[in-house]
A and B are shown apart, each in its own frame.
Chain A
Protein backbone atom coordinates (compact mmCIF):
# COMPACT_ATOMS: atom_id res chain seq x y z
CA UNK A 1 0.00 0.00 0.00
CA UNK A 2 1.19 3.48 -0.72
CA UNK A 3 2.82 5.37 2.10
CA UNK A 4 3.69 8.99 2.34
CA UNK A 5 5.89 10.84 4.77
CA UNK A 6 4.39 13.37 7.09
CA UNK A 7 6.51 15.69 9.21
CA UNK A 8 5.00 16.95 12.43
CA UNK A 9 6.34 20.27 13.69
CA UNK A 10 6.39 21.48 17.28
CA UNK A 11 2.90 22.91 17.79
CA UNK A 12 2.13 26.23 19.42
CA UNK A 13 1.83 25.28 23.10
CA UNK A 14 0.02 28.50 23.92
CA UNK A 15 0.72 31.35 26.28
CA UNK A 16 3.09 32.97 23.82
CA UNK A 17 5.71 30.28 24.24
CA UNK A 18 8.15 30.15 21.36
CA UNK A 19 10.14 27.02 22.16
CA UNK A 20 10.22 23.86 24.22
CA UNK A 21 12.88 21.44 25.44
CA UNK A 22 12.57 17.80 24.49
CA UNK A 23 12.66 15.80 27.72
CA UNK A 24 12.03 12.25 26.59
CA UNK A 25 10.94 10.59 23.39
CA UNK A 26 8.15 8.07 23.97
CA UNK A 27 8.82 6.48 20.57
CA UNK A 28 11.84 5.37 18.56
CA UNK A 29 12.58 5.20 14.85
CA UNK A 30 10.86 2.13 13.42
CA UNK A 31 8.06 2.10 16.01
CA UNK A 32 4.50 1.96 14.81
CA UNK A 33 2.32 4.37 16.78
CA UNK A 34 -1.41 4.86 17.09
CA UNK A 35 -3.01 8.25 16.77
CA UNK A 36 -3.11 9.98 20.20
CA UNK A 37 -0.49 7.65 21.67
CA UNK A 38 2.24 9.44 23.66
CA UNK A 39 4.81 10.80 21.24
CA UNK A 40 7.21 13.05 23.08
CA UNK A 41 7.50 14.75 26.43
CA UNK A 42 8.54 18.39 26.26
CA UNK A 43 8.96 21.15 28.82
CA UNK A 44 8.36 24.86 28.50
CA UNK A 45 9.00 27.56 31.05
CA UNK A 46 5.40 27.03 32.18
CA UNK A 47 4.86 23.30 32.30
CA UNK A 48 5.85 19.85 31.13
CA UNK A 49 3.54 18.11 28.68
CA UNK A 50 3.26 14.90 26.71
CA UNK A 51 2.40 15.59 23.09
CA UNK A 52 0.13 12.90 21.61
CA UNK A 53 0.73 11.55 18.15
CA UNK A 54 -1.34 13.39 15.52
CA UNK A 55 -1.20 10.39 13.18
CA UNK A 56 -1.08 6.65 13.10
CA UNK A 57 2.07 5.55 11.35
CA UNK A 58 5.64 4.37 11.50
CA UNK A 59 8.33 6.65 12.91
CA UNK A 60 10.87 7.44 10.22
CA UNK A 61 12.91 10.19 11.81
CA UNK A 62 13.21 12.07 15.10
CA UNK A 63 14.40 15.61 14.42
CA UNK A 64 15.57 16.54 17.93
CA UNK A 65 17.71 14.98 20.61
CA UNK A 66 16.59 14.77 24.20
CA UNK A 67 17.44 18.00 26.07
CA UNK A 68 17.47 19.89 22.77
CA UNK A 69 15.53 23.17 22.56
CA UNK A 70 13.14 23.21 19.59
CA UNK A 71 11.45 26.39 18.30
CA UNK A 72 7.70 26.25 17.67
CA UNK A 73 7.19 25.28 14.01
CA UNK A 74 10.43 23.35 13.66
CA UNK A 75 10.30 19.67 12.62
CA UNK A 76 9.84 17.27 15.49
CA UNK A 77 9.20 13.89 13.94
CA UNK A 78 8.53 12.34 10.54
CA UNK A 79 6.01 9.54 10.11
CA UNK A 80 5.37 7.19 7.22
CA UNK A 81 1.59 7.04 7.01
CA UNK A 82 -0.75 5.08 4.81
CA UNK A 83 -1.84 7.32 1.97
CA UNK A 84 -5.53 8.11 2.22
CA UNK A 85 -7.60 6.30 -0.39
CA UNK A 86 -8.92 9.53 -1.85
CA UNK A 87 -5.61 11.36 -1.86
CA UNK A 88 -4.16 12.36 -5.23
CA UNK A 89 -1.99 9.56 -6.48
CA UNK A 90 0.10 9.28 -9.58
CA UNK A 91 -1.32 7.05 -12.26
CA UNK A 92 -4.98 7.35 -11.44
CA UNK A 93 -6.99 7.97 -14.58
CA UNK A 94 -8.89 11.21 -14.66
CA UNK A 95 -6.84 13.07 -12.09
CA UNK A 96 -4.50 15.78 -13.25
CA UNK A 97 -1.95 17.62 -11.16
CA UNK A 98 -2.89 21.08 -10.01
CA UNK A 99 -2.02 23.72 -12.56
CA UNK A 100 -0.02 25.65 -9.98
CA UNK A 101 2.17 22.69 -9.34
CA UNK A 102 3.51 22.76 -12.89
CA UNK A 103 6.01 25.42 -13.92
CA UNK A 104 4.62 27.58 -16.68
CA UNK A 105 7.73 27.21 -18.71
CA UNK A 106 11.21 25.97 -18.29
CA UNK A 107 14.10 28.12 -19.29
CA UNK A 108 17.60 26.81 -19.25
CA UNK A 109 19.98 29.68 -19.56
CA UNK A 110 23.05 27.61 -19.66
CA UNK A 111 23.78 23.95 -20.30
CA UNK A 112 24.49 21.80 -17.28
CA UNK A 113 28.16 21.76 -16.44
CA UNK A 114 28.21 18.01 -15.97
Chain B
Protein backbone atom coordinates (compact mmCIF):
# COMPACT_ATOMS: atom_id res chain seq x y z
CA UNK B 1 0.00 0.00 0.00
CA UNK B 2 1.00 3.62 -0.23
CA UNK B 3 0.14 6.38 2.21
CA UNK B 4 0.83 10.05 2.75
CA UNK B 5 2.60 11.64 5.67
CA UNK B 6 1.37 15.18 6.15
CA UNK B 7 3.88 17.69 7.47
CA UNK B 8 5.38 20.91 6.12
CA UNK B 9 5.71 18.88 2.91
CA UNK B 10 3.45 15.92 2.14
CA UNK B 11 5.44 12.71 1.74
CA UNK B 12 4.11 9.75 -0.23
CA UNK B 13 5.54 6.45 0.86
CA UNK B 14 5.14 2.76 0.14
CA UNK B 15 4.78 0.21 2.94
CA UNK B 16 4.88 -3.24 1.40
CA UNK B 17 4.39 -6.39 3.42
CA UNK B 18 5.63 -9.64 1.92
CA UNK B 19 3.07 -12.35 1.11
CA UNK B 20 4.98 -14.73 3.31
CA UNK B 21 6.32 -12.58 6.14
CA UNK B 22 9.71 -13.36 7.62
CA UNK B 23 10.81 -12.28 11.06
CA UNK B 24 13.45 -9.91 9.75
CA UNK B 25 13.85 -6.19 10.26
CA UNK B 26 12.00 -4.03 7.70
CA UNK B 27 14.11 -2.38 5.01
CA UNK B 28 13.89 1.35 4.37
CA UNK B 29 14.83 2.22 0.78
CA UNK B 30 16.00 5.77 0.04
CA UNK B 31 16.18 6.71 -3.63
CA UNK B 32 18.64 9.03 -5.33
CA UNK B 33 18.40 12.59 -6.54
CA UNK B 34 15.84 13.15 -9.27
CA UNK B 35 14.27 9.70 -9.18
CA UNK B 36 11.61 8.22 -6.89
CA UNK B 37 10.81 5.00 -5.06
CA UNK B 38 9.21 3.37 -8.09
CA UNK B 39 11.98 4.14 -10.52
CA UNK B 40 15.02 3.69 -8.27
CA UNK B 41 13.87 0.57 -6.42
CA UNK B 42 10.71 -1.07 -7.76
CA UNK B 43 11.66 -0.93 -11.43
CA UNK B 44 15.20 -2.04 -10.58
CA UNK B 45 13.96 -5.29 -9.05
CA UNK B 46 14.41 -4.48 -5.36
CA UNK B 47 10.83 -4.75 -4.18
CA UNK B 48 10.53 -8.16 -5.81
CA UNK B 49 13.85 -9.39 -4.40
CA UNK B 50 13.21 -8.19 -0.84
CA UNK B 51 9.61 -9.40 -0.92
CA UNK B 52 10.79 -12.83 -2.04
CA UNK B 53 13.12 -12.83 0.96
CA UNK B 54 10.13 -12.18 3.24
CA UNK B 55 11.13 -8.60 4.04
CA UNK B 56 8.80 -5.69 4.66
CA UNK B 57 9.80 -2.76 2.48
CA UNK B 58 9.20 0.88 3.36
CA UNK B 59 10.19 3.58 0.93
CA UNK B 60 9.32 7.23 0.51
CA UNK B 61 9.31 9.50 -2.44
CA UNK B 62 11.68 11.98 -0.81
CA UNK B 63 10.53 15.59 -0.60
CA UNK B 64 10.83 17.28 -3.98
CA UNK B 65 10.50 13.93 -5.75
CA UNK B 66 7.89 11.55 -7.17
CA UNK B 67 4.41 11.98 -5.70
CA UNK B 68 5.60 13.97 -2.67
CA UNK B 69 5.38 17.73 -2.33
CA UNK B 70 7.83 19.79 -4.39
CA UNK B 71 8.53 23.17 -2.80
CA UNK B 72 10.93 25.34 -4.76
CA UNK B 73 12.53 27.09 -1.77
CA UNK B 74 15.85 25.45 -0.93
CA UNK B 75 15.27 25.89 2.83
CA UNK B 76 12.95 22.86 2.64
CA UNK B 77 15.73 20.58 1.45
CA UNK B 78 18.35 20.73 4.18
CA UNK B 79 19.39 17.20 5.20
CA UNK B 80 17.76 17.49 8.65
CA UNK B 81 14.33 18.00 7.03
CA UNK B 82 14.70 14.76 5.08
CA UNK B 83 15.79 12.97 8.24
CA UNK B 84 12.78 14.37 10.13
CA UNK B 85 10.51 13.00 7.37
CA UNK B 86 12.10 9.57 7.74
CA UNK B 87 11.79 9.45 11.52
CA UNK B 88 8.14 10.62 11.29
CA UNK B 89 7.49 7.90 8.72
CA UNK B 90 8.98 5.20 10.97
CA UNK B 91 6.83 6.48 13.85
CA UNK B 92 3.74 6.49 11.62
CA UNK B 93 4.33 2.93 10.42
CA UNK B 94 5.11 1.69 13.93
CA UNK B 95 8.59 0.51 13.03
CA UNK B 96 11.20 0.68 15.79
CA UNK B 97 14.25 -0.25 13.80
CA UNK B 98 15.11 -0.62 10.13
CA UNK B 99 17.88 -1.66 7.86
CA UNK B 100 18.36 1.39 5.67
CA UNK B 101 19.52 1.09 2.07
CA UNK B 102 20.28 4.28 0.18
CA UNK B 103 21.39 5.10 -3.32
CA UNK B 104 23.37 8.23 -4.18
CA UNK B 105 21.67 11.15 -2.39
CA UNK B 106 19.61 8.56 -0.54
CA UNK B 107 22.88 7.15 0.83
CA UNK B 108 23.88 10.52 2.19
CA UNK B 109 20.47 10.69 3.92
CA UNK B 110 20.85 7.12 5.22
CA UNK B 111 24.16 8.19 6.76
CA UNK B 112 22.50 11.25 8.36
CA UNK B 113 19.62 9.14 9.66
CA UNK B 114 22.04 6.65 11.24
CA UNK B 115 24.01 9.47 12.91
CA UNK B 116 20.90 11.34 14.07
CA UNK B 117 18.74 8.43 15.17
CA UNK B 118 21.09 5.44 15.67
CA UNK B 119 18.48 3.72 17.82
CA UNK B 120 16.23 3.42 14.75
CA UNK B 121 18.86 1.84 12.48
CA UNK B 122 20.20 -1.71 12.64
CA UNK B 123 22.38 -1.83 9.51
CA UNK B 124 23.26 0.64 6.78
CA UNK B 125 23.89 0.16 3.07
CA UNK B 126 25.23 3.06 1.02
CA UNK B 127 24.95 2.51 -2.73
CA UNK B 128 26.54 4.70 -5.39
CA UNK B 129 28.22 6.80 -2.75
CA UNK B 130 31.71 7.72 -1.62
CA UNK B 131 33.33 10.40 0.46
CA UNK B 132 33.48 12.68 -2.56
CA UNK B 133 31.42 15.87 -2.64
CA UNK B 134 28.81 15.06 -5.28
CA UNK B 135 28.56 18.71 -6.32
CA UNK B 136 32.29 19.32 -6.87
CA UNK B 137 32.79 21.86 -9.63
CA UNK B 138 29.09 22.20 -10.46
CA UNK B 139 27.61 25.68 -10.88
CA UNK B 140 24.39 25.32 -8.88
CA UNK B 141 23.07 28.71 -9.96
CA UNK B 142 22.54 26.91 -13.28
CA UNK B 143 22.53 23.15 -12.58
CA UNK B 144 23.04 20.94 -15.59
CA UNK B 145 25.05 23.59 -17.46
CA UNK B 146 28.46 22.03 -16.89
CA UNK B 147 30.17 18.69 -17.44
CA UNK B 148 30.66 17.48 -13.88
CA UNK B 149 29.22 14.07 -12.92
CA UNK B 150 26.46 15.97 -11.08
CA UNK B 151 25.60 18.02 -14.18
CA UNK B 152 25.23 14.81 -16.16
CA UNK B 153 22.90 13.33 -13.53
CA UNK B 154 20.92 16.57 -13.35
CA UNK B 155 20.41 16.75 -17.10
CA UNK B 156 19.14 13.16 -17.17
CA UNK B 157 16.68 13.51 -14.30
CA UNK B 158 15.45 17.06 -14.97
CA UNK B 159 13.90 15.81 -18.20
CA UNK B 160 12.02 12.93 -16.59
CA UNK B 161 8.24 13.26 -16.61
CA UNK B 162 6.85 14.35 -13.24
CA UNK B 163 10.03 16.04 -12.11
CA UNK B 164 10.02 19.74 -11.29
CA UNK B 165 13.36 21.24 -12.34
CA UNK B 166 13.01 24.20 -9.95
CA UNK B 167 12.39 21.86 -7.00
CA UNK B 168 15.36 19.69 -7.98
CA UNK B 169 17.62 22.73 -8.31
CA UNK B 170 16.49 23.93 -4.85
CA UNK B 171 17.18 20.46 -3.46
CA UNK B 172 20.66 20.37 -5.01
CA UNK B 173 21.54 23.80 -3.59
CA UNK B 174 20.43 22.84 -0.09
CA UNK B 175 22.36 19.55 -0.18
CA UNK B 176 25.44 21.33 -1.51
CA UNK B 177 25.23 23.91 1.29
CA UNK B 178 25.95 21.07 3.71
CA UNK B 179 28.68 19.06 1.98
CA UNK B 180 28.98 15.49 3.17
CA UNK B 181 31.43 15.19 6.04
CA UNK B 182 32.88 11.74 6.81
CA UNK B 183 33.60 13.03 10.33
CA UNK B 184 32.39 11.74 12.65
CA UNK B 185 32.63 8.31 11.03
CA UNK B 186 29.66 6.00 11.33
CA UNK B 187 30.74 3.39 13.84
CA UNK B 188 28.79 0.94 15.95
CA UNK B 189 26.36 0.18 13.11
CA UNK B 190 27.30 -2.46 10.52
CA UNK B 191 27.97 -0.69 7.21
CA UNK B 192 28.14 -1.89 3.62
CA UNK B 193 29.04 0.28 0.64
CA UNK B 194 28.28 -0.92 -2.89
CA UNK B 195 29.19 0.94 -6.04
CA UNK B 196 29.83 0.41 -9.73
CA UNK B 197 33.50 0.16 -10.69
CA UNK B 198 32.92 2.99 -13.19
CA UNK B 199 30.88 5.23 -10.88
CA UNK B 200 32.64 8.61 -10.72
CA UNK B 201 30.30 9.78 -7.96
CA UNK B 202 31.31 6.92 -5.68
CA UNK B 203 35.02 7.68 -5.58
CA UNK B 204 36.41 7.07 -2.12
CA UNK B 205 33.82 4.45 -1.23
CA UNK B 206 36.46 1.89 -0.24
CA UNK B 207 38.25 4.40 2.01
CA UNK B 208 34.98 5.47 3.62
CA UNK B 209 34.11 1.84 4.34
CA UNK B 210 37.53 1.29 5.88
CA UNK B 211 37.26 4.39 8.10
CA UNK B 212 33.96 3.10 9.49
CA UNK B 213 35.02 -0.52 9.85
CA UNK B 214 32.59 -1.45 7.09
CA UNK B 215 32.77 -3.40 3.85
CA UNK B 216 32.95 -2.18 0.25
CA UNK B 217 31.68 -4.24 -2.66
CA UNK B 218 32.45 -3.10 -6.19
CA UNK B 219 30.19 -4.10 -9.09
CA UNK B 220 32.36 -4.66 -12.19
CA UNK B 221 31.55 -2.70 -15.32
CA UNK B 222 28.77 -0.61 -13.82
CA UNK B 223 28.38 3.15 -13.55
CA UNK B 224 26.24 5.46 -11.41
CA UNK B 225 23.15 4.95 -13.56
CA UNK B 226 23.15 1.19 -13.86
CA UNK B 227 24.76 -0.25 -10.73
CA UNK B 228 21.49 -0.02 -8.79
CA UNK B 229 19.67 -2.59 -10.92
CA UNK B 230 22.49 -5.12 -10.98
CA UNK B 231 21.94 -8.54 -9.52
CA UNK B 232 25.36 -8.38 -7.85
CA UNK B 233 24.30 -5.28 -5.88
CA UNK B 234 21.00 -6.80 -4.75
CA UNK B 235 22.68 -10.05 -3.77
CA UNK B 236 25.40 -8.27 -1.77
CA UNK B 237 22.70 -6.41 0.16
CA UNK B 238 20.54 -9.49 0.72
CA UNK B 239 23.58 -11.33 2.07
CA UNK B 240 24.53 -8.39 4.31
CA UNK B 241 21.03 -8.06 5.75
CA UNK B 242 20.43 -11.77 6.22
CA UNK B 243 20.49 -13.35 9.70
Chain B interface size, under 10 / 10 to 19 / 20 to 34 / 35 or more = 10 to 19
Query: In this assembly, does B225 line the interface, its C-beta being within 8 Å of a C-beta of chain A?
Result: yes
| Bound complex: CA A112 to CA B231 (Å) | 54
A68 part of interface (Cβ distance < 8 Å): no
The closest CB in chain A to the CB of B51 belongs to A36
| A50 in contact with B226 (CB, 8 Å) | no
Q: Once the chains are docked, how many angstroms separate the CA of A11 from the CA of B49?
A: 21
**Contact between A41 and B229, CB atoms less than 8 A apart:** yes
In the complex, chain A residues whose CB is within 8 Å of the CB of B156: 45-46
List CB contacts (< 8 Å) of A15-41 with chain B. Answer: 15, 23-24, 26, 36-38, 41
Asked if B225 and A50 sit within 8 Å, CB to CB, the answer is: no
Q: Which residue of B lies closest to A47 (CB)?
A: B39
Cβ contacts B214-225/A at 8 Å (1 or 0 each):
000000000001
CB distance from B84 to the nearest CB of A (A): 28
Tell me which of B161, B228, B231 contacts A26 (CB under 8 A).
B231
Instruction: Check B10 for interface membership: any CB of A closer than 8 A.
Output: no
Is B229 a contact partner of A48 (Cβ separation < 8 A)? yes
A42 to chain B, nearest CB (A): 9
User: Cα distance A36–B49 when bound, in Å?
Assistant: 10
CB distance from B42 to the nearest CB of A (A): 9
Alpha-carbon distance between A14 and B196 when the two chains are bound, in angstroms: 26
Most buried by A among B39, B43, B156, B228: B43
The residues of B that contact A45 with a CB separation of less than 8 Å are 156
Interface residues of B, dominant DSSP: loop
Restricting to B185-229, which residues have a CB under 8 Å from any CB of A?
A: 225-226, 228-229
Pick the contact of B231: A24, A36, A37 (CB < 8 A): A24
Most buried by A among B35, B156, B229: B229
In the bound complex, residues from chain A placing their C-beta under 8 Å from that of B44 are: 47-50
A48 and B231 CA atoms in complex are apart in Å by 12
Among A23, A47, A48, A52, the residue within 8 A (CB) of B48 is A52
Decide yes or no: A41 and B45 within 8 Å by CB, A47-B39, A50-B229 being known contacts: yes
Chain B residues within 8 Å of A, Cβ to Cβ: 35, 39, 43-45, 48-49, 156, 160-161, 225-226, 228-231
Q: List 22 A-B contacts (CB under 8 A).
A: A15-B160, A15-B161, A23-B229, A24-B231, A36-B48, A37-B48, A38-B45, A38-B49, A38-B231, A41-B229, A41-B230, A43-B226, A47-B44, A48-B44, A48-B226, A48-B228, A48-B230, A49-B44, A49-B45, A49-B229, A50-B43, A50-B45
Beyond contacts A15-B161, A41-B231, A50-B48: 20 other A-B pairs, Cβ-Cβ < 8 A, are A15-B160, A24-B231, A38-B45, A41-B45, A43-B225, A43-B226, A45-B156, A46-B156, A46-B160, A47-B43, A47-B44, A48-B225, A48-B226, A48-B228, A48-B229, A48-B230, A49-B43, A49-B44, A50-B44, A52-B45
